[in-house]
């Protein structure tokens, strides 16, 4: 006769059964694909016959290291990430502080923030593309009638300008997310703390810099890491607004990977690029875990 299991053994057994479906799914659709991508990155597999073919060692990687398009896509991605995440943090923090001050109608402002956050990314892109339209877009109409421009501008025909306009669209979508988390974090700061500081004659700035900012740090870091990872992989909004144009001016690293894999049909070199993106993401994940993840939160 088998010995009955101890309570701990029972828990382990039950726990494994309960985790099993999740483990299988994650292994099959996330972990194995990442490994498979790594393997493919050493081959010259074409899209037309997608089975791993000739082994080309590091050729795909070496090719990109010498490739100007690759480096400019990296710089563009870094520009997009820094500028959009930086501005989003500043604006998000400002809006969070504004809501926290509870001016007349703050509930309305907070509810309004949900709208851009909930609008699907593709619709967001479609709206802004139409706003920037050279002949009939709202941006031209408004700026022209206010006298800021003398004639209608073709906004999306200048590469650097187009990149900045995509950033504006991204900010519209993402600021609410940051403002909402920071506002929720602000609400958890004990009132007594600020009252005590006020009694002691702290100025508004001192209260912000010495009390709010330090206590907001974890929430700011979470927002920062999450948004950086997302901005680094930006694709959807670029696809709709500029399709990577003009003159490759908005081709970020994800967009280059897409072009390489599915437009030019080089799954091998596309895999090399997508593996580089995974590597960057891994670094960000490690930062996230190192600085932000507290196991005690999970007991």
Partner 1 sequence: MKFNRKMFAKVWLLLAMIPILFFIYAPVAWLVTSSISTRADLLALPPHLFPANPTLKNYTDILMPGTGVSEVARTFKVTLVNSLIVSLTTTFICLLIASLAAYALARLRLRYKNQFVIGILSVRMIPEISLVIPLFIVAARLGWLDRPIVLIVTYLSFSLPFAIWMLTTFFESIPVELEDAALIDGSSRLNTLFQIILPLAAPGIVSTALFIFLLAWDEFFFALIFTSTIAAKTVPVAIAEFTGRYAVDITAMMAGGVLAALPPVILALIFQRYIVSGLSAGAVKG
Residues 6-65, interacting with partner 1 (CB under 8 A): 8, 11-12, 14-16, 18-19, 21-22, 25-26, 29-34, 36-37, 40, 50-51
Stretch in the footprint of partner 1 (CB under 8 A) among 61-69, 75-83, 130-138, 157-165: 130-138
Q: Does residue 299 touch partner 1 according to CB under 8 A?
A: yes
Name residues contacting partner 1, limited to 66-95 (CB under 8 A): 95
Residue from 126, 189, 193, 202 binding partner 1 (CB under 8 A): 126
Using the minimum distance from each CB to partner 1, give the nearer residue, 72 or 281: 281
Smallest distance from partner 1 to CB 160, Å: 22
Smallest distance from partner 1 to CB 118, Å: 4
Name residues contacting partner 1, limited to 98-117 (CB under 8 A): 98, 101, 103-105, 109-117
Q: Does residue 257 touch partner 1 according to CB under 8 A?
A: yes
Q: 142: helix, coil or strand?
A: helix
End-to-end CA distance of the chain: 37
Distance CA 112, CA 119 (A): 12
> Minimal CA–CA distance to 254: which of 283, 274, 280, 281?
274
Residue from 93, 185, 224, 238 binding partner 1 (CB under 8 A): 185
Stretch in the footprint of partner 1 (CB under 8 A) among 53-61, 153-161, 209-217, 256-264: 256-264
The pairs formed by 186-194 with CB atoms below 8 angstroms and a separation of 24 or more are 186/96, 186/97, 186/100, 186/212, 186/216, 187/100, 189/215
Distance CA 66, CA 286 (A): 29
Chain-centroid distance of CA 166 in Å reads: 14
CA distances from 48 to 42, 61, 65, 118 (A): 18, 21, 26, 38
6: left (phi over 0), alpha (psi -120 to 50) or beta: beta
Using the minimum distance from each CB to partner 1, give the nearer residue, 26 or 58: 26
Q: Does residue 167 touch partner 1 according to CB under 8 A?
A: no
DSSP-derived secondary structure for 194-233: HHHHHHTT--HHHHIIIIIHHHHHHHHHHHHHHHHHHHHT
Q: Does residue 258 touch partner 1 according to CB under 8 A?
A: yes
Residue from 61, 63, 72, 121 binding partner 1 (CB under 8 A): 121
Q: Does residue 233 touch partner 1 according to CB under 8 A?
A: yes
Q: Does residue 239 touch partner 1 according to CB under 8 A?
A: yes
Residue from 4, 6, 136, 150 binding partner 1 (CB under 8 A): 136
Whether omega before 246 lies within 30 degrees of 0, making that bond cis, reads yes
Using the minimum distance from each CB to partner 1, give the nearer residue, 163 or 180: 180
**Residues 73, 252: contact at Cβ < 8 Å?**
yes
Q: Does residue 201 touch partner 1 according to CB under 8 A?
A: no
Residue from 58, 62, 141, 247 binding partner 1 (CB under 8 A): 141
Q: Does residue 229 touch partner 1 according to CB under 8 A?
A: yes
Smallest distance from partner 1 to CB 209, Å: 19
Distance CA 37, CA 24 (A): 19
Q: Does residue 262 touch partner 1 according to CB under 8 A?
A: yes
Helix (H) or strand (E) holding 153: none
């Amino acid at each position: 006769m088998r010995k009955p299991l101890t309570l701990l053994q029972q828990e382990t057994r039950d726990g494994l059964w309960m985790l099993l479906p999740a483990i299988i799914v994650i292994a099959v659709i996330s972990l194995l694909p990442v490994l498979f991508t790594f393997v493919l990155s050493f081959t010259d597999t074409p899209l037309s016959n997608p089975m791993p073919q000739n082994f080309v060692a590091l050729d795909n990687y070496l090719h990109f290291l010498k490739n100007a398009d690759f480096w400019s896509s990296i710089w563009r991605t870094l520009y997009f990430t820094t500028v959009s995440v930086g501005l989003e943090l500043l604006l998000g923090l400002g809006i969070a502080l504004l809501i926290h001050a509870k001016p007349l109608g703050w509930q309305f402002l907070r509810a309004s923030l949900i709208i851009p956050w909930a609008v699907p990314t593709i619709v967001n892109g479609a709206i802004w593309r139409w706003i920037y339209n050279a002949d009939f877009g709202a941006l031209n109409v408004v700026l022209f009638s206010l006298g800021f421009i003398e004639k209608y501008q073709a906004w999306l025909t200048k590469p650097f300008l187009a990149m900045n306009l995509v950033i504006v669209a991204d900010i519209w979508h993402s600021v609410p997310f940051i403002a909402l988390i920071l506002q929720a974090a602000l609400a958890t700061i004990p009132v007594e703390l600020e009252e005590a500081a006020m009694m002691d004659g702290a100025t508004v700035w001192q209260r912000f810099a010495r009390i709010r900012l330090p206590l907001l740090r974890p929430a700011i870091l979470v927002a920062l890491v999450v948004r950086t990872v997302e901005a680094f992989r930006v694709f959807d909004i670029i696809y709709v607004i500029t399709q990577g144009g003009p003159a490759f001016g908005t081709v970020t690293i994800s967009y280059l990977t897409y072009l390489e894999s599915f437009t030019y049909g080089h799954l091998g070199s596309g895999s090399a690029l997508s593996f580089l993106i995974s590597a960057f993401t891994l670094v960000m994940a490690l930062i996230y875990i190192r600085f932000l993840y507290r196991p005690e939160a999970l007991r």
